[in-house]
A and B are shown apart, each in its own frame.
Chain A
Amino acid sequence: MPRRVCRAVVALALTLAVAGAGCGVPHGDTDRAEVEARTCASFLRRSGRPFDPAAVDPAVFARVRAEFLATGRPFSTLEPFLKACRSLG
């Protein structure tokens, strides 16, 4: 393949990959809540504090995030996660 064509294909692929990045993620919010629940459980196990694993529910993380979003106020990326996680252990 001529070099120019090769470069054009690579550039096009990269552009599409990055541009396509903003097209949404199926189940993104649900997956995020589950990942945050797992991460929180890991933190709590590591801290050695007693906690109820069954209470580390993804729904808690989804709810706290929705509350932060509803305020319209700025918040750090980790703030909702930390607030939810602290409430559990």
Chain B
Amino acid sequence: MSVARLTALSVYLTVLVWVVVTDGLPVERTMVIAWLVVAAVIVLGGRRPGVAARAVADWLPVVLVLVAYDLSRGAADGLGMPLQLRAPIRADEALFGTVPTVWLQEHLGPFGRDVRWWEIPVSLVYVSHYIVPFALGVWLWTRARSRFSWWRDRFLTITAIGLVGYVLVPTAPPWYASRLGELPEVRRTASRGWQELGVGIADRVFDLGRAAVNPTAAFPSLHAAFALFTVVAVWRGARRWVRPLLAAYPLAMAFTLVVSGEHYVVDILAGWAVVVVAVMLWRRLDRWVVPWRARRAAAAAERDEVAAVVAPTAPPPDAPPDRGLPRPVWLLAVGAAVVAVASRMVRIARPDVLVFDEGYYAAQALEVAQHGVEVGHSVHPPAGKWAIAAGIRLLGYSPWGWRVVPLLAGAAVVGASVVAAWRATQSRWWAALAALVVLTDGIAVTTGRLALLDGLVALWCTLALVCLVNLAAHPFDAVLLVRTAWWAGALFGVALATKWSVVPVWLAATGFVAWLARTARLPRRRPLLVLGLLPVAVYALAYLPTLVAYDASAVARVACADGITCADGPVDRVRAVVHDHREVLRFHSDLEPSNRFAVSSWNWVVQTQPTELWREGERRVVAQGNPLVWAVGTAALVWCGWWGFARRRPVPLLLALTALGWWVPWAIVQRPGYSFYAAPLVPVLAVGVAVAGVSLPAAWARRAGGALAVVALVGAAVLAPRWFGW
């Protein structure tokens, strides 16, 4: 095993142990997949080139369908499908004359404080649902691609059928029916065995797996389906003496589900039927799919062979590449920025009060302008406040003063999106469409005319994206690689000193540059050092004013009140800043959703839960994107992800990584978020649309782009009063 892989494995195991100790065993299904796949990639890394990209391309559909499962509750609610409460009870009574769950709990209960021995295997079998199917999938993935494809096709089909069931027939499980008075007392007992084992994962399993996600996802039972499917997948290759044990697994799962009050027998039978349907269906589909895949694999192998011959020998161009922008693109970028300023400055001083988090940021910016530091305690680094302060210094503490810098930043985002889109596509038409998408997006508009930090983060990160897209378009340019590292590093540094949420995107960008340099066989130590360390240095620099004007700062007050230090020597000041960071981290970790407009990042895709920023009477300011444009943009980014990971295309890969960097952390963390946190994602979405659009067949491309432009403009016309508070 190479030193690099050994190091990666050590880091992996260290982090895994840390996570298990601090947070319990990971049981959320997408996290389980992530842990297993990363382990497989590290182990296989040295033997199979491109295994990481292949892992993402192969597992992305599985993760997406599991995410769709988590969203199915919302879909069922949205469609207004009636909850099935009595029907499964009647079905079980018709089969057994009674409800087996109730009968079992009456005869095996009561479930008091003491846990019986058989409740431990029940808990183990229940939790195996979250690990065993995916462990099998990853194992097959490491063994043979054809076997993994077999497993994945059927797994996705089973899950998809299950999803349809949850959306169309939301069904209450026995414990829920009991709470609603349709059954005698039914207790949820599947977690009791964990109490006996003393393993602290039970609550999280049950929160994540059942109640928090979709408590009415009972019919069909995917627990039962996955257990049977796992056995079907390994049955042929299993030794004869193992087969009785395998056969016992779905039966044990069925008993577990019924006795613990999670499912009716009819749910389990439906789950098993889904497996049969999926297997039969694919037996027919494989006649076409298997030969088609073989043809594609042969074509891809041929392409890779050509690439392997071409890539290493592609010399750096003799003459410096043309990195300048054509004049029409400059004009387009400047023109789009001017339109942004002109359209967003309309009544920018209305409302003439502090809107939403302007109450913090505008006020802190004033304090920065007056004292050089924030006097009231702040939970974000100071760079954004310094930027807003420049406007206040110029125009006074008025709505124009605190909103002029975000206005200019928002306009610059529009212009930068044009440049990024043109760099990515070399098409002025698609660059113009990208500009239109950003110009007409409600998130971009509201953050581009209010003193919120997210508009400023969007600016720094979009400028960094421009640099990185340029690099992705010139992957063999060693000079550009170093230059990009400096520019992107500085920009990520300023963004990081505005809001910490930039960290995942910065790490994703660093990973991308490492991959690109390795693929192009360019020296990568220096650019990676620059991209890794420069943002940290810029971040530290942002605290220089705090160290200088320390006495007036909230940092000094907090350090003294908390007993860290009341002195103001150089070391005390640094200690106070470090303590302040700990306090801010604790604030963000413990933050409870206190605003009813806090929304999950899952909703960014459909934009149906906008954050209301201000309201008075009938007038409201709402941060909401055009749902259709966001849906198309998300589809474009998913396509970029597939294209980038599977075909190793730098520009789509960069866009997909950047989008994931913005989206995934907010999807995972429990901290409440707001719709306008998506502001830095808007330009990525717009460039993604351009990249996806330019790859469409020419006959469709213009029509699709034109249709999207119409949708964006009509949406803006309809939604603009909500963005502007008219």
* A contact residues vs B (CB 8 Å cutoff): 17-18, 20-29, 31-32, 35-36, 38-39, 42, 45-46, 69, 72-81
Contacts and interface: CB of A to CB of B under 8 A. Distances in A.
A31 B398 contact: yes
B590 interface: no
B680 interface: no
Interface stretch (B357-365, B426-434, B639-647): B357-365
A32 B545 contact: no
A37 to B, nearest CB: 9
Interface string B389-400: 110111011100
Given A69-B375, A74-B561, A75-B376, A24 B360 contact: no
Given A24-B393, A77-B364, 13 more contacts: A21-B389, A22-B369, A22-B372, A22-B545, A28-B369, A31-B396, A35-B397, A46-B616, A69-B375, A72-B557, A75-B377, A78-B359, A78-B376
A32 B397 contact: yes
B361 to A, nearest CB: 9
Given A38-B353, A73-B561, A75-B377, A25 B392 contact: yes
Closest 7 CB pairs of A and B: A77-B376, A21-B389, A31-B397, A74-B557, A39-B353, A22-B372, A21-B390
Nearest to B378: A77
B636 interface: no
B481 to A, nearest CB: 20
A29 to B, nearest CB: 8
Contacts of B352: 38
A46 B613 CA distance: 13
A71 B367 CA distance: 18
Contacts of B549: 22
A78 B360 contact: yes
Contacts of B368: 21-22
B351 interface: yes
Nearest to A69: B375
Interface in B601-631: 615-617
B374 A77 contact: yes
A82 to B, nearest CB: 9
B616 A42 contact: yes
Nearest to B393: A21
Interface string B548-560: 0100001001101
Given A75-B376, A77-B377, A35 B392 contact: no
Interface residues of B, number: 41
Contact of B557 (A28, A73, A77): A73
9 contacts: A20-B390, A22-B549, A25-B397, A38-B353, A42-B616, A72-B560, A74-B377, A74-B558, A75-B557
Contacts of B396: 25-27, 31
A75 B396 CA distance: 24
Nearest to B365: A21
Q: Is the interface of A mostly helix, strand, loop or mixed?
A: helix
A73 B370 CA distance: 20
B353 A42 contact: yes
B389 A79 contact: no
Given A74-B377, A77-B376, A21 B554 contact: no
A26 B396 CA distance: 7
Contact of A76 (B370, B377, B394): B377
Given A46-B616, A77-B363, A25 B393 contact: yes
B386 A45 contact: no
A40 to B, nearest CB: 9
A46 B617 CA distance: 7
A76 B718 CA distance: 38
Contacts of B560: 72
B185 to A, nearest CB: 44
Interface string B533-574: 000000000000100010000100110110000000000000
Contacts of A81: 359, 363
B232 to A, nearest CB: 58
Nearest to A41: B353
B366 to A, nearest CB: 6
Interface string B323-363: 00000000000000000000000000001111000011001
A76 B370 CA distance: 17
Given A31-B397, A46-B616, A24 B369 contact: yes
B377 A28 contact: no
Nearest to A29: B370
A53 to B, nearest CB: 14
B362 to A, nearest CB: 8
A31 B389 CA distance: 14
A79 B615 contact: no
A69 to B, nearest CB: 7
Nearest to B374: A77
B390 A18 contact: yes
A45 B616 contact: yes
B366 A18 contact: no
Contacts of A72: 557, 560
A31 B370 CA distance: 12
B516 interface: no
B653 interface: no
Interface string B7-41: 00000000000000000000000000000000000
B590 to A, nearest CB: 14
B377 A46 contact: no
A21 B364 contact: no
Contacts of A35: 353-354, 397-398
Contacts of B389: 18, 21-22
Interface string B677-703: 000000000000000000000000000
B387 interface: yes
Given A22-B389, A77-B378, A32 B353 contact: no
B83 to A, nearest CB: 35
Nearest to A26: B396
